[in-house]
Structure 1
Amino acid sequence: LVFLPSYSPNLNLIERLWRHVKKQVLYSRYYETFPKFKAAIMECINSTSTSNRKSLETLLTLKFQVIEKTQIVNT
């Protein structure tokens, strides 16, 4: 279980996936009908495990650092 602040899209993995889908499907593209748009999104999502694997591996990582107990101030 990972605590996330109330609004943190950069830490939320589904937001990162959605950013990837938007980049692959929406940027500079026009779909004449909703079924074509939906098909493009479904194709992108279905191909995430094969053709887009490398780009997703860099996006979908938890970039957290574990900080061990340390003494900050010498007393």
Structure 2
Amino acid sequence: MIFLPPYAPNLNLIERYWRFFKKEILYGKCYQTFALFKQACDDFFAASNYYKEALRSLLTDNFQIIDYA
């Protein structure tokens, strides 16, 4: 078990994944309809092999542990 602070989104893997998702789907993009936005989201999750290398380096537990005591 590794101690994690109460709020540490940079250490939580799902937070890293959501940040990557938002960077790919939201930032700098405008969707005319909700259906287009939903399709972009669905395409992102369906094309997981396309993002495999980027996610492999991002979703790792290789981070510095700071002693909390």
TM category, shorter: 0.7 to 0.9
**TM-score normalised per structure 2:** 0.80
What is the identity, as a one-letter code, of the residue corresponding to 1:63? N
CA 1:46–1:3: 2 relative to 1, 3 Å: farther
Alignment-derived partner of residue 43 in structure 1: 43
CA RMSD, aligned part only?
A: 1.8
For 1:47 and 1:57, locate their aligned partners in 2 and report how far apart those are by CA, in whole Å: 14
- Which runs of 5 or more residues in structure 2 are unaligned? none
Aligned residues: 65
Larger Cα Rg: Structure 1 or Structure 2?
Answer: 1
What is the identity, as a one-letter code, of the residue corresponding to 2:56? E
**TM-score normalised per structure 1:** 0.74
Q: Percent identity at matched positions?
A: 46
- Which runs of 5 or more residues in structure 1 are unaligned? 67-75
Alignment-derived partner of residue 52 in structure 1: 51
